[in-house]
Amino acid sequence: MFPELVIATSNEGKYKEFCEIIHASCENFADRIIFAPEISRLIVEESGHSYAENSLLKARAWSQKSGLPCIADDSGLEVDALDGAPGIFSARTAREKGLSESEWLLSRLDGVENRKARFTAALCLCVPEKFTLITEGYCYGKISTIARGSNGFGYDPVFLPDGYGKTFAELPGTVKNNISHRADAFRKISLLLK
């Protein structure tokens, strides 16, 4: 479908996750998937008020810089007991406190019974001078009482997806990347392109 596709991230873990999702969902989506962390020197202020707005800001900026089709996401964890927090501030909230995401979240939920949560991802595909598509995907689950596993990143060690007894960080990548919020959003992009 695309000779080249840039993934708008400087996070190698996220890049690898996207590659696995793309290859598993749509074999012919891109001949070459590009990891270009040097583009991350381009500072894109995530000033949007939603995941969709932030993913659009990133996809447009990285696409303009590279001149290539680009996929960007903005995602976050929404916890019922925290009224949907940390939400669009997921990556920044823990850092501002000098904690890992898991440490911050577990400290906020200490003694809390309602541990329902969902991951949300907005995915934006920007093809220069042609079109832009945005979709949202979800993965529902709950927050564990302790961090478990060494795969993944961010809140993965404390998120137990519905129907699984393991956290995202304990599940094999092939499983996580089939049920994740990013996979859900990517499948929707693929359907729109068809």
Dist CA 6 CA 34 (whole Å): 5
Dist CA 66 CA 70 (whole Å): 8
Dist CA 49 CA 182 (whole Å): 19
Dist CA 186 CA 2 (whole Å): 15
What SS3 class is residue 20? Answer: helix
Count of alpha carbons within 13 Å of 136, Cβ hemisphere only? 11
User: One of 74, 80, 156, 184 is an active-site residue; which one?
Assistant: 74
Is 31 annotated as catalytic?
Answer: no
What SS3 class is residue 167? Answer: coil
Known catalytic residues are 74
